[in-house]
Amino acid sequence: PRGPSAPNMKNSNYCLPSYTAYKNYDYSEPGRHNEQPGLCGLSNLGNTCFMNSAIQCLSNTPPLTEYFLNDKYQEELNYDNPLGMRGEIAKSYAELIKQMWSGKYSYVTPRAFKTQVGRFAPQFSGYQQQDCQELLAFLLDGLHEDLNRIRKKPYIQLKDADGRPDKIVAEEAWENHLKRNDSIIVDIFHGLFKSTLVCPECAKISVTFDPFCYLTLPLPMKKERSLEVYLVRLDPLSKPMQYKVVVPKIGNIQDLCIALSTLSGVASDKV
C-alpha cells in the first residue's frame, strides 16, 4: 500500500478469477481433475513454510499476479541491472505463479524457485526455518530490480523542504524516486514516509519524505492478564475458594493481593 503522502502515479485495472468455488481442495496427482485457479497449496521443503507463506501472500495480490499471468513481465526484464539478478528471480517466480494459477494442480512443490532464491541469498539456501518478513523483503527487492524499467539511474540532488507545503515536497520526492525506481513493485507496494525533525537548539524544522516498500507494525499487547488463584483461609473449617483475578501483565505480588482482596473481602495485608 502507498503512504498517505504518496501521489498515485499510475492507475491500472486488473481482473482475476473470483474465489467462488472451493471444490477439489484435496491433494491429488496433477491433471487428474480441474482445480480452482489460485487455490493451490505449496509443499514444504524441510521447514520452508516461511517461504510458502510469503509466496501465498504475493500470489493473492491481484495486480501482481495478473502482471505475471499475462506475461507483461517479459517486456520489462532488466538483465543489465547491477542491483538485480539477471532476471532469474522474476522468471522463476513467474513460472511458479503460472503453475499455481493454471487450475491443474491442488499443490505444487516450489523446489526450482527455492533453488534460485538460495543462489542469490545464501541465507535461504538451506531447509531451516527462516524469518518470513526477511524473505518477503528480499523477494520484493529482487523482483523490483529484475523488472526495473529504469535502465540507467540518474544522480538526484535532494532539496530541503525549506517551509514549502507538504504536498509539493512529497510530489517532488516521489518524482525523484521514480527517476531511479520504476517497476510493478513500485506501482503496487512503494510509498512515502514523512519524517519531521525539530532541532532542540534553534527549533528549525526539517521535513523529509522517504520511500518505503513495506511497513513494520508492532502487534498490540494486552496490558492485563487473568489468573486463577485459590484462597485458603486460616480457619480449618473454611473451604478453599477459587477466584479469577485480573492483574497488570507486568504487575507484582502486591497487585495480586489487592485484586484478591477486592473479590474476597480479606484485607490485602492479610493475604
- Report which secondary-structure segment, H or E, holds 164: none
Q: Distance between CA atoms of 144 and 115, rounded to whole angstroms?
A: 19
pLDDT computed for residue 90 by the predictor: 95
The residue among 180, 120, 181, 139 whose CA lies nearest residue 156 is: 180
Bridge partners of 191, per DSSP, are 212
- Looking up cell 525549506 gives 162
- The residue type of 24 is N
- What is the block-wise mean pLDDT of the chain (271 residues), using blocks of 10 residues? 42 40 38 74 90 94 95 93 92 95 90 92 88 94 95 86 87 93 95 91 88 88 88 86 89 89 86 82
CB 106 within 8 A of CB 35: yes
Q: What are phi and psi of 248, to 5 degrees?
A: -60, 145
> Strand 205-212 to strand 224-231: parallel, antiparallel, or no bridges (unpaired)?
unpaired
Same structural domain, 116 and 180: no
pLDDT computed for residue 33 by the predictor: 56
pLDDT computed for residue 1 by the predictor: 42
Q: At what angle do helices 88-100 and 132-146 cross, to 10 degrees?
A: 110
**pTM metric for this prediction:** 0.68
Question: What's the domain range around 135?
Answer: 41-147
Q: If you compute the radius of gyration of the chain from its CA atoms, what whole number of angstroms results?
A: 27
Same structural domain, 95 and 190: no
pLDDT computed for residue 267 by the predictor: 87
Same structural domain, 113 and 58: yes
Q: Distance between CA atoms of 98 and 152, rounded to whole angstroms?
A: 30
pLDDT computed for residue 22 by the predictor: 31
Same structural domain, 62 and 133: yes
pLDDT computed for residue 6 by the predictor: 42
The count of structural domains within the chain is 3
